[in-house]
Amino acid sequence: MSDDVDDVGGSGFSLEDLSAYLDRGRTPRIPAIERNAECQALLASMERMGHLSREIIDEQAAEPLAESWYDEIMREVMREFRAGRDIPLARTADGTQLVVTEGALYELIRTVGDDVPGVLVGRVRIDQPEPTGPLDVRVTVSVLFGYPMQGTVELMRDGIRAAIERHGELRVGRVDVTVGDVHVDVEDE
């Protein structure tokens, strides 16, 4: 999918970016999202879906689930869908393949961003051109106004590489960090 297709209402943010923003409680406030009518409509829809999903989960939690083969398969498919594809880590002596999900690596990268002052992580992409080759990581971030962009990007790049190699025993190729936005602290507006 091209970046133009991912751009919601000309805001420069994708549906994934809006979801991450909503997950953070819409803080710090991003004016480009808050002032965009299409972004606001999508955020309102996501909030309604979240409330509805929680209600359904609460209702179903009181009822025992049928343990049919179909239910079991569908639960596994949904788990894998949310987690993303499996990325091979290693093969043990007995032939067992160890993997890490793409979703786990996305969360690891977002955690790195949480530790870098002034950074909000937006879009995260992981590519592995060859099955046993190194991972290429692309991250778009927003930097708090007044923070040095070059130093912040270097902290993110080094942090991502170290975290993936330390936690996943994976080889990392390129780590591209793009500053896609500058945000201001809510109290500064």
Q: How much is the pLDDT for 20? A: 87
Low-confidence ranges of the chain (pLDDT < 50): 1-4, 65, 69-70, 73, 76-77, 79-81, 188-189
Annotated domain spans of the chain: 8-188
CA-CA distance, 108 to 83, in Å (whole number)? Answer: 13
> 8-188 sits in which CATH class?
alpha beta
CA-CA distance, 73 to 35, in Å (whole number)? Answer: 42
If you search the block for the tokens 């409509």, which residue do you land on? 41
Q: How much is the pLDDT for 77? A: 47
Q: How much is the pLDDT for 74? A: 53
Q: How much is the pLDDT for 162? A: 94
Is pTM beyond 0.85? Reply is no
Q: Which two tokens stand for residue 77?
A: 């498919």
Q: How much is the pLDDT for 107? A: 84
Tell me phi and psi for residue 15, to 5 degrees. Answer: -60, -40
Q: How much is the pLDDT for 82? A: 54
